Chain A
Amino acid sequence: MAQIQESGGQDHKGGKKRPKRGIPTVDMTPMVDLGFLLLTFFVMTSTFSKPKIMSLAYPPKEENKPTDPDKPKVNNAITFILSEDRIFYYENQFYPESNKEGKPATQLSETNFGADGVRKLLTDKNRYVLEQKAGLDRQLRGKEIADTTHARILKEKKGDPQALKVLVKTDDMAKCRNFIDMIDELRIAEIGAFLPSEITASELELVRAKTKKD
């Protein structure tokens, strides 16, 4: 095959005996050089994975829509406020200090982006949907329902009143990755109803107080 030609090995044995010439050989070294040059080029200039996109549907902006004072009481909702790598949250409605209803003022709790933090919190709160989904998944695996039915029922369950509703707000210290991570956690916890929305002044005050302390 492609051996480097060994010359002069047997020359001294007499003028007539030439080195055995079998198949003519080709020196492959430059070809290896070329191959690795191309290889290096392709490794350097290419990206492996195509970037993925995470789609979000924002609510349409309604201009000059007055905030309804008699809006229905939200229950089974949770509001997250993102600050730099920290998550504050409160459940259900926000009650400012000395409110009309005489409810105690809302306190912010804190959690983190770890698996024991926000993920655990959300899976606990959204247990209803997750349990329904587990049941549906079992049915799907057992070929009891079609995958389109699975998708339809799951969507219904996500919109169920018992499902957790989530508001995501950010303060001015939040980073983009915090927001993306939060949306990710919501996806993991199968939360169908979530809304990125504007932080209110009184909420911001509470967050400021929390972040300033330490």
Chain B
Amino acid sequence: MAKVSKPKSAPGIDMTPMVDLAFLLVTFFMLSANFRSDEIVPVDVPASIAENVIPNNMLVRVTVDKSGRVFYGIAGKEDTKKNMLLRMSEKYKIPFSNEQVQEFTKLSDIGCSMSQLPAYLSMNEHDRTRFIESSVGVPTDSTNNQLKDWITAGRTELLAFGEAEYMAAREKNIDVKVSDFKPKFVLKVDGNADYIFAKRVVETFRDLKENNLSFITSLKADPRKTEH
């Protein structure tokens, strides 16, 4: 009869391959993924077959959420944002403290009227979230189109910044395209938002003679490619 061997102690498991696996996955995720930028409101963008990648910089972005509220933000350097705010502050005769300007440069998007902005910037994180829930967004009415002024201010500052960058690149004899240094205008609309709200934003852009607009979409399969 075969000798039944008594278990000696708790069976040991070699954890090394598991460590290998875990760190392999960590490395993969670190390298392949880009961080989710903090969105002011959740927006479920529609899918399209467009494959152009969104630029990281030089971006004027208008967000339209599900209920049609409009949010505005630019992707640029802190100085650009600061100058944009100072421009708006001058136009609307609303002063901002240094702390408020500092806070503003950290924000990605704003969703309130100019008169509410100083108070919004002084709020803490928790109050801001609550404020946004009840906010109506940036006013876009024809009588008080603050979005238009924001876009104008953002466009001016981005253009100035882009021009300086372009000159610097030219001096270094880097072969550059002018179009890379021009601000892009993107709309991030929720698929379930009524189109009339998006249209109002589009018309605002067109009033400012910005006719090349882009919609942010998620990718879906192109039926032309799957056919073959």
Tell me whether A and B are bound partners: yes
Residues of A at under 8 Å CB distance from B? 1-9, 27-29, 31-32, 35-36, 38-39, 42-43, 45-61, 82, 115, 119, 170, 172-181, 183-184, 187-188, 196
Check A53 against B186 for contact (C-beta < 8 Å).
yes
Which of B53, B206, B217 interacts with A61 by CB under 8 Å?
B206
Check B199 against A170 for contact (C-beta < 8 Å).
yes
Given contacts A4-B12, A7-B9, A46-B33, 5 further A-B contacts (CB under 8 A): A27-B15, A32-B15, A176-B192, A184-B50, A187-B49
Q: Given A2-B16, A32-B18, answer yes or no on A55-B52 (Cβ-Cβ < 8 Å).
A: yes
Provide the residues of chain B in CB contact with A29, threshold 8 Å. Answer: 15
B42 contacts chain A at the CB level, 8 A cutoff: no
Q: Given A54-B50, A54-B215, A184-B48, answer yes or no on A173-B15 (Cβ-Cβ < 8 Å).
A: no
B190 contacts chain A at the CB level, 8 A cutoff: yes
Check B50 against A52 for contact (C-beta < 8 Å).
yes
Measured between C-beta atoms, what is the minimum distance from B1 to chain A in Å?
23
How many angstroms from the CA of A54 to the CA of B213 in the assembled complex?
A: 8
Check B214 against A54 for contact (C-beta < 8 Å).
yes
Which of A55, A57, A119, A173 interacts with B50 by CB under 8 Å?
A55
Provide the residues of chain B in CB contact with A50, threshold 8 Å. Answer: 34, 53-54
How many angstroms from the CA of A160 to the CA of B19 in the assembled complex?
A: 62
- Which of A55, A178, A181, A188 has the most chain B CB atoms inside 10 A of its CB? A55
Provide the residues of chain A in CB contact with B30, threshold 8 Å. Answer: 42
B21-29, B71-79, B98-106: which lies at the interface: B21-29
- Which A residue's beta carbon lies closest to that of B212? A57
Measured between C-beta atoms, what is the minimum distance from B204 to chain A in Å?
11
Provide the residues of chain A in CB contact with B171, threshold 8 Å. Answer: none
Measured between C-beta atoms, what is the minimum distance from B94 to chain A in Å?
30
Which bucket holds chain B's interface residue count? 35 or more
Provide the residues of chain A in CB contact with B174, threshold 8 Å. Answer: none
Q: Given A53-B186, A172-B194, answer yes or no on A58-B211 (Cβ-Cβ < 8 Å).
A: yes
How many angstroms from the CA of A104 to the CA of B16 in the assembled complex?
A: 80
Measured between C-beta atoms, what is the minimum distance from B98 to chain A in Å?
31
Measured between C-beta atoms, what is the minimum distance from A122 to chain B in Å?
12
How many angstroms from the CA of A179 to the CA of B214 in the assembled complex?
A: 13
How many angstroms from the CA of A46 to the CA of B152 in the assembled complex?
A: 33
- Which A residue's beta carbon lies closest to that of B20? A35
Which of A4, A51, A179 interacts with B195 by CB under 8 Å?
A179
B115-123, B131-139, B142-150, B219-227: which lies at the interface: B219-227
Provide the residues of chain B in CB contact with A174, threshold 8 Å. Answer: 194-196
How many angstroms from the CA of A39 to the CA of B32 in the assembled complex?
A: 13
Provide the residues of chain A in CB contact with B198, threshold 8 Å. Answer: 176, 179
How many angstroms from the CA of A99 to the CA of B79 in the assembled complex?
A: 60
How many angstroms from the CA of A58 to the CA of B205 in the assembled complex?
A: 10
- Which B residue's beta carbon lies closest to that of A31? B19
How many angstroms from the CA of A210 to the CA of B129 in the assembled complex?
A: 42
How many angstroms from the CA of A51 to the CA of B36 in the assembled complex?
A: 11
B51 contacts chain A at the CB level, 8 A cutoff: yes
